[in-house]
Every structure is written in C-alpha cells, then in structure tokens.
Amino acid sequence: MLLLSWQLRVFLGATSLVLLYDLIVLIALGSSYMLPYLPGAVSLSCAGASLVVCFLSLVYVFRASKLATLMPLIWLSLLHVALLTAIAVTAFMCAHDVEPLLQRATSDRAFLKVMMFDGAYPSFTYVWYEPDDFKCPSTADKDMALKQRFYEAYCAKRGHVYCDSFPMRAVLRFGLINATSGTTVRLTSASVNSTFFDVPMTNSTTLTNFCDQVAPSVLTAEPTLSALCDGCQRMHETSAFGDWIDDNCESISWIDTFSTFCISYRSPKVYPELSPACRYAMMKPRHSSTFADVCYNGSFSAKVQRDANALAASAVALGVMSLVVAIVLGRLQGSRDTVDEEDALMFEAMTQPSPATTIE
C-alpha cells in the first residue's frame, strides 16, 4: 500500500520547520556572546542531534513511495519531540534562575541613589583590605564564572571612564588594591596638593592626564600608581558583547568601588601569580552595589530571561507540532493495519480451496 501524498507533505513541512529551528540554534546561539549564559551545551547538542534526525527524515520521505508503513515517520517525529523537550526544559529553568537577580537589581539601584557624593568626588576615603579567609573558587562554580565573564567585558568597555572622565583624586579615595592602608592614605593625602609627583593636580585632573605627564621614574618607585596607569592603557574593547553593554547599561554617574577593581584587574602587575579566577575572587568589590551590579542583575539578566524564554517557547511550539504529527500518523497507521488484516483474510479465503462437498 502506497503512502498518500498529503501525509508526506505534512511530515515534510513539520520536519522543515524543525530543521530551520535547529540551524538557527546552531548558528545564532553557537556564535553569540550569550552562549555561556544560556543552556548552550544542552541546546547545541540537542539541536545537532535533531538536525541528524531531520536529514534521516528527508531521506525516508524520498523513499517513502516504496514503503508501506508509517512507523518510521512516527518514530522520527517522536525523536523530535524528545529533543525539543530537552531544549525547552533547560531553557525554562535558565529563565527561572535569573529571577532572584532581577529582584536584586532593584535594591542595587536604590543603594546607588542613596549614596552621598559631592558630584563625582567621594567625601570619604575607602580603604581596600585583602580578605582573611580568601579561597580560590572552584572552576565548577558556574555562577562565579559567568559573573566574572560579564565583569571583564564591562570593565573592558566601560572602565575607561574611571580613567578619562572622573577626577584622579576620587579614584584614589576609593582604595588601591594590592596596596597597604598606609600607602593608600599617603597617596590620597598627597593628591590633594596642587602638584602630585610634579604633575599639576586639580579636581578635573584625570588618571589618564596624570599617567601621560608623570615621569617613568615615579612609576618605577610607586608600583601602585604604575599598576593604575597600566590598567588604564588596557581599557579597550571592541566586541558585540561590549557594544551591547555600552548600549544597554546605565551610564556611570560617579566613582564607585568598581573603579579600582576595573583598573587594577586589567593590569597583570596586580597579583600576577594568581589565575584569572583567583584574581577575580580576590579583587572583586564586596559589601556594596555598583553600576556593574545594576546592569548584570537588571538589564542583562532580563535579556537572558527573554532569550531563554524565546528559545524554550519555540521549542515547545515545534515539539507540540511534532507530537500532533506523530499522533495523526499513528492513527492512520492503526487504520491501515486493520485494512491490511481484512485484506489478508480475504486473500486467504480466495486462495485456499474450499473443502469438497459430500453428496449423500
């Protein structure tokens, strides 16, 4: 019994939509900076497996006119359902995981609003202290790794404002990583003078201005200042991720505790013996909210949630479609089996000789 053409068209249409979805996931997600923040491993592997199933389906469709059963089409459709379900479940879980971050963004923004500054100039000296109970984070700590990746991109794209736009005096008041409290107080106090290491100093003098004019011998004698100048020179970022940060994150309105981290983290002169993960854990701001936190917990987490929901919703829609196709084909196959059984009984009745009647 030959397959009917409309059945092939329905199955081929559903398979083509799943194939298109698989290609979009593999190409768009696989090459996107969002890959680490979405269920990339599951999505890419399932999309790749689904792509193989699609090709097998197409091969079967071209041979279908020579076959007399719908069971291969049914099993291929059910495979699509299973793979799409795996993508949808992991994507929905990812969207749910960022809910606490979105709630935290509100408190981060409120904290920044109540901070009292005289413009961009802090009214106190913040001293950075090396943590006593520091431990290198495990490489399996996914949340730490993702936040580190975001902060690195944020610093690379936005960190230059701490060097180019704000007073150097304000930057120094927010603490110097890898410097003793005595060094921090000494440099901060000296910066209020009209000259700072023979460089004219005003409230508008930036760290970039200072680094361009200071003598190299001063940087040799003052490793803390050398690390700051080195970090400012490395504030360059040209990537899609950096462009998104520049377009969507709130502008930095004043100096915060993230300034010292951004500048020092970019310089290999600070804790060069530590791995990037250890350096991040050692140097990241603690006990306060920053503009980077507002962006990561707010705008960026909202983007992660939108992308994850879109990935999941499209997988659910295609999965339901594939399931409906499998059910319809299954019912058709059941009706055909009944017809085949009746044909077999009729054929048997027609081909077997009837017993001779006995005339008495």
Q: Name the phi and psi angles at 167, rounded to 5.
A: -60, 140
Distance CA 216, CA 197 (A): 11
Helix (H, G, I), strand (E, B) or coil at 38: coil
Provide the pLDDT for residue 267: 84
Residue pLDDT, tens place only, 42-74: 999 999 999 999 988 888 777 655 555 778 888
Asked whether residue 150 falls in the same domain as residue 232, the answer is yes
Q: Which domain holds residue 271?
A: 132-285
Mean pLDDT (whole number) for 304-327: 94
**Can you give the pTM of this predicted structure?**
0.78
CA nearest 106: which of 308, 304, 293? 293
294 touches 250 (CB < 8 A)? yes
Residues 304, 279: Cα–Cα separation, whole Å: 26
Q: Could you tell me the end-to-end alpha-carbon distance of the chain, in angstroms, rounded to an integer? A: 46
**What letter represents residue 19's amino acid?**
L
Question: Within this chain, do residues 249 and 344 fall inside the same structural domain, yes or no?
Answer: no
Mean pLDDT for 257-283 is 81
Number of domain units in the chain: 2
Same domain, 241 and 344: no
78 lies in a domain? yes
Same domain, 48 and 139: no
Q: Tell me the torsion sign for CA atoms 81, 83, 89, 92.
A: negative
Per-residue pLDDT at 226 exceeds 70 = yes
Residues 279 and 308 in one domain: no
Task: Determine the distance from the C-alpha atom of residue 29 to the mean position of all C-alpha atoms in its chain, rounded to a whole number.
Answer: 10
- Asked, for residue 262, whether it belongs to a domain, the answer is yes
Same domain, 199 and 170: yes
The answer on 327 and 250 residing in a single domain is no
Torsion, Cα of 240, 242, 244, 250 (10° steps) = 180
Nearest residue to 176 via CA among 161, 165, 191, 164:
191
More reliable by pLDDT, 175 or 39: 39
Average pLDDT over residues 218-233: 90
How many Cα neighbours within 13 Å face the side chain of 101?
Answer: 21
Q: What is the pLDDT averaged over residues 233-244?
A: 83
Q: Are residues 138 and 271 in the same domain?
A: yes
Residues 180 and 240 in one domain: yes
Do 233 and 317 have their domain in common? no
Tens of pLDDT, residue by residue over 144-158, are: 788 888 988 898 888
